Amino acid sequence: MTQFDARLYRARDYPRMPWRNGGGTTQEVACNPGGGTAGFEWRLSIADVGQDGGFSAFDGFQRIITVLEGAGIELTVDGRREPPLGPRRAYAFRGDAKVDCRLLDGPIRDFNLFYAPARWQARLQWLNASCVFHSPARAVLLLNASDAPLALAVDGARHELPSRHDCLHIETAGGLAEYRIEPATASAALDACLIELLPVAA
């Protein structure tokens, strides 16, 4: 059995801060242990985008963005217009890219993963059904995008995410662990984003 530490982050407690370029606001969901706004190796955040404009630059990072609420956005990345990005579709790009955003039909809220690819490998996926899987990831994070409670069991130890946009952070000491994700109640729907982070070998 893998040793792990579980931390529940509640959406009601997320700190809000301005974007680096001043164009909007962000709520920080989680970051690597010991990290913070001024310096981190990986970070999850939720941003409110109320108008068209440019994204802040994050040199040395990879970014994955996905729309949580709203109709969607159209991104232009280093001069190339990308297909419209609707809810629950992920798009990856370099943090130092020049990115402009156009709202498709009003304001949106998006979910972001930032990570340093020199230090971490990452996988992000959306889930709409219960699942069981094994992972060697050092950090596993689960964001509940539903109004219904969500449950995550790690090697049989069950944890719940009670509310919308709550996030559960599992930090392991290494090794393969079993994860089971399902609604906390049988009749509820599942809507969640799963992130796995594994250190890059030296």
Q: Which two tokens stand for residue 92?
A: 């990856």
pTM over 0.75: yes
pLDDT digits (tens, 9 = 90+) for 175-196: 899 999 999 988 889 999 999 9
Mean pLDDT of 158-186: 94
Identify the helix (H) or strand (E) that includes residue 168.
strand 167-172
C-alpha dihedral sign at 47, 139, 176, 161: negative
Exposure string (b/e) for 164-185, b if CB count within 10 Å is 16 or more?
A: bbbbbbbbbeeeebebebbbbe
Contacts of 13 (CB under 8 A, 6+ apart): none
Mean pLDDT of 113-117: 96
Query: In this predicted structure, what is the pLDDT of residue 134?
Result: 96
Using CA atoms, how far residue 57 sits from 16, 36, 81, 96, 131, in Å, is 19, 17, 18, 5, 35
pLDDT digits (tens, 9 = 90+) for 52-75: 999 988 999 999 999 999 999 999
With CA atoms as reference, report the closest residue to 57 among 19, 29, 17. 19
